[in-house]
């Protein structure tokens, strides 16, 4: 059974999972800055992506894996 998605007070998705599916269970967690831009996304397997913004424009994005690469 899949859990219900979670949202912050601004209505932005902060956590979702695929529990109950046939693939490995993964939970995704997200955070946002005060302008509503996603600042990071992390999965429960250790991977993640961070985002840097300037005036609502994406300036950079860095990804990492569970082994730190």
User: Is residue 1 in a domain?
Assistant: no
> pTM (2 decimals)?
0.80
47, part of any domain:
yes
Whether pLDDT at 23 is above 90: no
Contact between 4 and 14 (Cβ < 8 Å)? no
Percent of the residues in the chain that have a pLDDT greater than 70, as a whole number: 96
H or E element at residue 58 = strand 57-64
In a domain, 13, yes or no: yes
Q: What is the pLDDT of residue 2?
A: 57
Structural domain for 42, as ranges: 6-64
* Number of structural domains in the chain: 1
pLDDT for res 11:
95
66 vs 50, residue with greater confidence: 50
């Amino acid at each position: 059974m899949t859990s219900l998605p979670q949202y912050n007070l601004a209505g932005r998705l902060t956590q979702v999972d695929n529990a109950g599916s046939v693939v490995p269970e993964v939970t995704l967690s997200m955070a946002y800055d005060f302008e509503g831009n996603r600042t990071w996304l992390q999965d429960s397997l250790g991977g993640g992506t961070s985002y840097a913004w300037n005036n609502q424009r994406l300036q950079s994005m860095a990804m990492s894996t569970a082994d730190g690469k």
